Amino acid sequence: MEILVCIKRVPDPSENEIEVNKDGTDIERDDFVYSVNEWDNYAVEEAIQIRDKVGGSVTVVSVGDEEAEEVVRREMAMGADKGILLSDDAFEGSDGKGIAAILTAEVKKGNYDLILTGAQADDGAGQVGGMLAAMLDWPFASLVNFIEVLDDNKIKVGREIAGGNQEMYEMDLPCVLSIQTGINEPRYVSIRGIRKVASLEIPVHTAGDLGISPKSVGKAGAKTKCLDYFVPELGDGARILEGSTDEIIDELIELLRAKGGIK
């Protein structure tokens, strides 16, 4: 089975302190460290497990600048067979639809049976998977937490729905699935693993290679525009406890007691 996994390089919230910049148009990115989007990591792990079970190959693809190569390489260290970077100045500022259009062009160049994306990105809006499926006119399932390959043309897919319930679908291949965390336990990528793939070539495909008109993607082609970026004002009933950890804990316990949360 030929599997394509779409991944994204994002600032990991657990390793960064997110602050809005002075203009309020973006977050402070100076001291950021980046990693692969957490959901995508699960998607790659799932793809590798499927490949190890039924054969085929796993390709990872990312839309981004040359620095995104780092995450493509990391997922190759994890076990993906091929990596592709989609990079062009024209891609900069793309909205979800733009990214989906770029990925669609890449998918059409290949011969994939299954496309996996993360359910969402730490800094995203959870749009790309669905749009990609629509543009390809392929079936789509979101928030997938179970995959079983039935035969060359069919898979069984599980989704977690509200209240912890589970639903199961049978889907035709090729299709697009957006993967929820918890579907598996992604393997660890060691420094040695990354070094082993350091010299592997990762082809870069530009707008020209993909046959995309620069005007249809990037800032020019974006149908949405970010107006503002801010930390919401404290509303009524919300409070941020301040002080040392111990003081915060004491106050929290006090509050919970007072409101009847604990006895």
Partner 1 sequence: MEAALISPAKATVFGIPAVIFSLIIPLVGVGIFTYIIALRLKPMVKGSPDPRLNRPADRFFKMIKYAVGQYRHPRYMDAGIIHIIIFSGFVILSLRSITLVMLGLSSGYVLPGMSGTSGQIYLVLKDFAETFVLFACLVALYRRIIVKPQRYAVPAKYGKEHTWEAVLVLLLIIGLVTCDMFFEGSQAGAEIQKGFKTKILVPMSGTWFAAHILSFLPVDTLQDLHVGAYFSHELIFFFFLCFLPLGKHFHVITSLPNVFFMKLDKGTVKPVKWGVEDEGLDELESFGVKKFEDFTWKHMLDFYSCADCGRCSDNCPAHAVGRPLSPRFISIKCRDYSFKKYPLTGMSENDRFLIGNVLEEDEIWSCTTCGACEQECPLFIEYIDKIVDLRRGLVDEGMVPQSLQKPLRAIEKRGNPYGKMEKKRADWTKDLPVDFNVKILGKKGAADTLYFVDSVTSYDDRIQEIGRAAARFLDAAGIDFGILGPAERDSGHEVKRFGEEMLFQDLRDRNTDAILNSGAKNIVTADPHTFNALKNDYKGIPPVEHISRTIIKAVTWGNIRFKPVEDPGKIYTYHDPCYLGRHNNLYDDPRNAIDAIPGIKRIEMEGHCRDRSFCCGGGGLMLFYEPIEEKRMGQVRVEMAKQAGANVMVTACPFCMLNIEDAIKTSGLEGEMEAIDLIELIERHMIID
Q: Is 151 in the site for partner 1 (CB under 8 A)?
A: no
Q: By CB under 8 A, what part of segment 74-113 binds partner 1?
A: 78-79
What is the DSSP secondary-structure string of 105-118?
Answer: HHHHHS--SEEEEE
Instruction: Select from 27-35, 86-94, 138-146, 213-221 the region that touches partner 1 (CB under 8 A).
Output: 27-35
Cβ–Cβ under 8 Å, residues 122 and 182: no
Select 82 or 187, whichever has its Cβ closest to partner 1: 187
Q: Is 21 in the site for partner 1 (CB under 8 A)?
A: no
Q: Is 29 in the site for partner 1 (CB under 8 A)?
A: no
What phi, psi does 86 have (nearest 5°)?
Answer: -105, 110
Pairing mode, strands 140-149 and 154-161: antiparallel
- Give the other-Cβ count within 10 Å of 257's Cβ: 11
Select 58 or 115, whichever has its Cβ closest to partner 1: 58
Q: Which of 111, 227, 244, 258 binds partner 1 (CB under 8 A)?
A: 244
Instruction: Select from 138-146, 168-176, 193-201, 212-220 the region that touches partner 1 (CB under 8 A).
Output: 193-201
**Burial of residue 164, with CB atoms counted within 10 A of its CB: 0-12 exposed, 13-18 middle, 19 or more buried:** exposed
Rounded Cα gap, residues 240 and 222, in angstroms:
37
Helix (H/G/I), strand (E/B), else coil: 234:
coil
Cβ–Cβ under 8 Å, residues 138 and 172: no
Q: Is 199 in the site for partner 1 (CB under 8 A)?
A: no
Amino acid identity at 177: L
Q: Which of 29, 195, 219, 257 binds partner 1 (CB under 8 A)?
A: 195
Q: Is 186 in the site for partner 1 (CB under 8 A)?
A: yes
Q: Is 178 in the site for partner 1 (CB under 8 A)?
A: no
Q: Is 31 in the site for partner 1 (CB under 8 A)?
A: yes
Select 191 or 238, whichever has its Cβ closest to partner 1: 191
**Cα 81 vs. chain centroid, distance in angstroms?**
19
Interaction site with partner 1 (CB under 8 A): 12, 14-17, 31, 33, 35, 78-79, 185-193, 195-196, 244-245
